[in-house]
Amino acid sequence: MKIFKQSLTAICLFIVAALPGQEILTGLQYNEVIKKEAQLQTGHSERGTDEEIILHLPFFDDFKNINRYPDANLWQDKDVFINKDFPYFAPNIGAATFDAIDSTGAVYGNALIIPFEADHLTSHILRLDSVFNPIVKALSPADSLYLSFFYQPQGYGDEPEPGDTLLLEFSYLTGDTVFSHIDSLKVFVNYYLENEQDTLKPFDTLYAPPGCDTNLYIINFKTLTWGDWVMMPCDSVFMPETSWKTQWKSEGMKLSEFQDLYGKDWVQVMIPVKDSIYFYKDFSFRFRNYASIANDLIPSFRSNVDQWNVDYVYLNYNRSIADTTYRILSFSNRAPSFLKNYQVMPYRQYRADAPVNTLKPALEMYITNLDKVERNTKYQYTVKQVAGNFGYTYNGGSCNLPPFYEFGFQNCNTPCGSAHACPPVSAFNLDFSRDTSSYIIKHFISDSSESNIIVDSAIYRQGFYNYYAYDDGTPEFGYGVEPAGAFIAYQFTLSVPDTLFGVQMYFNQTKDFANNQFFNINIWRDNNGRPGEIVAQLQSQQAMWNGGLYEFYPYMLDEPVVLSGTFYVGVQQFDGGSLNIGFDANNDNRDKIFYKLEQAWYSSNFGGSLLIRPMFGPNMVLSTEDISIQNEDQAMVFPNPARTWFTIGNEKIRSDRNAQLSVYNMFGQRIIHQLGISKNIDISHLSSGMYIIRIISEGKSFNDKLLISR
């Protein structure tokens, strides 16, 4: 029974039962990515429902095209999650994750505390009777077919227990037939009528015509006349019966146990296809998993669990047990942030601190050579400012990279290896005309020694916006504390004093909104490495959602507060049960997370980051009453926060017919641009969140922030 779990390593995150006075980490009750994709695809099908896909050898999928659902050209179902968040050091960026979440993004309705059948990943029909290229050739067990794949339990998710198995199955024909469907044909109504004046009335019984099974009939529900037609059943269709045989399975275990057992993060399995029963034209194979939730009754524990990751699924003939390599160079992990402590930080704070104190001295790139021969690789990364002119290219030169199975990742032990695996970081530009900035960073690894070039890439967007973020924006878990009255605090450090005007938070949605309870948002000063005096508070708040994919909700302070040095942002909950704050398992900042029970503060035991982001900037105009205070150096955006419109209070700007107004989102994308300042600028089409207002008037530039809150 899955009630208590304990982690032995930083990556082994888990679900625990609710005991008095403790941290709680739970799986997600909804996968927002799949949920949003399912909503987008409702009523839209990429293919006709009757279109049958027939595949031919070879079959290969490395899940690198991260479209959330499996590739519809290869797989029949949508249960598994294609992602780069749950796999731990995968062979390449992207894998298929099996869990307890269905194709709509919700925990399976039949989820139990005992193992239940969960996700399926089923190939389309695959011709194993023959190959057709370069010549037509019948296949048999003598052609040495192998199906191979990599697998990993848990990853950055929850460890599957021994009963939470992952299986591989092959389809075969049993030799029997089973009923498939009733074949139909279109029949003119004239057949059932005596003349052109005759009519078929509702509830008339119509039997199948000659040549069909005349025992079949339908009840007519429409008025039909001469020249109409009706679809009639004709005959029962029976098909060869298909069943499934298990070819391989693995019992659940912690990733740490898996690593101790095999000495690696992933294991590649080689399955020979030897039995002649599989060599037929309608063959399929499938993976499926069994999962078990932690608790049927407690809402926060009826959540996503028991992750398995699968990658590099490959089926072909003329293979051998030793055919375990691929002519592929790859980045294993997602591209990293250039910042030493954060994923995102305010641009003003970056400019104020020496970049040497803010940026990492070097990156950690995990580069693999999955081939069986050594490759002479070239590495570089490029930096390009979004909507700006700054950019540069780092060239790491060439370096030999032996095969991964004997050498592992490229490392920093040699000068050229260090230039690839640990490339140095250069400072970004200091643009004092901007409040925010962002940069697209692209990494490339290649071998061009042959005509067929091997290349891989990874992309990261480095943001300098109006907030601090330790997290990457994707929650793998939900975080909370027990009991009622407990505190959560998150530590941040400013380079220079700045004005805090709100906090962005992301709460995982839970079944029946079980975490929609009241809490206070607190801002603390530092007291020797622990939260001290409360300097600001928002009372009686509730978990709120903006409706977008992992879209944070802004909680605005009634009065902005000036902070300096180290401070803390967090919550005090009134009731028992987890608030289910989003928890990013890929970036370990446990030393910044604290929780308080009774009178004592404790450091977090969980390796990860909370999806809590303090927002900074100059004092904001909070009501239309403030516009009487004119300042020619300010645009005076009001109302702020706004709902459906805003305007500019600076009369001099408003009277300038050539004034240019632009609105940018927090990624630096311009979404509104107009000449002249109308009385009310319509923003009803924009989603809630923070935006940058930029105005150019009479040779002067004005920058301000606008919060849209509905």
| Amino acid code (one letter) for 46 | E
What pLDDT is attached to residue 636?
A: 81
What pLDDT is attached to residue 14?
A: 37
Q: Is omega for the bond preceding 423 within 30 degrees of 0, making it cis?
A: no
Percentage of the chain surpassing pLDDT 70? Answer: 90
Predicted confidence (pLDDT) per residue in 439-479, tens digit: 999 999 999 888 889 999 999 999 999 999 999 999 999 99
Alpha helices in 283-346 (DSSP H): none
Residue 501: pLDDT band with limits 50, 70, 90: confident
Mean pLDDT of 267-272: 98
What pLDDT is attached to residue 299?
A: 57
Sort 530 into a burial class: Cβ within 10 Å, 0-12 / 13-18 / 19+. middle
What pLDDT is attached to residue 625?
A: 34
What pLDDT is attached to residue 548?
A: 67
Residue 560 has pLDDT above 80, yes or no: yes
| φ, ψ for residue 588, nearest 5 deg | -85, 105
Bridge-partner residues for 702, per DSSP?
695
Nearest Cα to 191, choosing from 201, 206, 174? 206
Average pLDDT over all residues of the chain: 87
Residue 49: pLDDT band with limits 50, 70, 90: very low
| Residue 607: how many other CB atoms lie within 10 Å | 21
Residue 541 has pLDDT above 50, yes or no: yes
What is the CATH number that goes with domain 624-708? 2.60.40.3080
Question: DSSP states of 413-441 as a string?
Answer: SSHHHHHHHS-B--PPP--TT-S-EEEEE
Percentage of the chain surpassing pLDDT 90? Answer: 59
What pLDDT is attached to residue 297?
A: 54
Residue 355 has pLDDT above 90, yes or no: no
What is the CATH number that goes with domain 477-616? 2.60.120
Mean pLDDT of 572-593: 92
Ranges of each domain in the chain: 31-165+251-316, 179-237, 335-464, 477-616, 624-708
Q: Which CATH class is domain 31-165+251-316?
A: mainly beta
What pLDDT is attached to residue 69?
A: 93
The more confidently predicted of residues 264 and 703 is: 264
What pLDDT is attached to residue 577?
A: 78
The domain 335-464 having CATH identifier 2.60.40: the answer here is yes
Residue 619 has pLDDT above 80, yes or no: no
What pLDDT is attached to residue 598?
A: 83
Distance (Å, whole) CA 214 – CA 207: 6
Predicted confidence (pLDDT) per residue in 401-447, tens digit: 999 988 999 999 889 999 999 999 999 998 887 888 999 999 999 99
Q: Which residue do the tokens 């990993």 mark?
A: 152
What pLDDT is attached to residue 483?
A: 87
Bridge-partner residues for 180, per DSSP?
none
* 3 state DSSP class of 276: helix
| Residue 526: how many other CB atoms lie within 10 Å | 18
The more confidently predicted of residues 256 and 646 is: 256
The more confidently predicted of residues 33 and 289 is: 289
What pLDDT is attached to residue 627?
A: 35
Predicted confidence (pLDDT) per residue in 114-144, tens digit: 999 999 999 999 999 999 888 899 999 999 9
Predicted confidence (pLDDT) per residue in 360-400, tens digit: 999 999 999 999 999 999 999 999 999 899 999 999 999 99
Residue 286 has pLDDT above 90, yes or no: yes
Nearest Cα to 472, choosing from 342, 568, 348, 569? 342
What pLDDT is attached to residue 608?
A: 96
Predicted confidence (pLDDT) per residue in 60-88, tens digit: 999 998 778 999 999 999 999 999 999 99
Distance (Å, whole) CA 578 – CA 213: 62
Residue 90 has pLDDT above 90, yes or no: yes
Report the alpha-carbon angle 199-204-205, nearest 5: 130
Please, which residues have CB within 8 angstroms of residue 662's CB and are 6 or more apart in sequence? Answer: 670, 672, 673, 693, 694, 695
User: Do 31-165+251-316 and 335-464 show the same overall fold?
Assistant: no
| Amino acid code (one letter) for 142 | A
CA gyration radius, the chain? 30
Residue 691 has pLDDT above 80, yes or no: yes
Question: DSSP states of 353-379 as a string?
Answer: S-HHHHB-SB----EEE-SSS-EEEEE
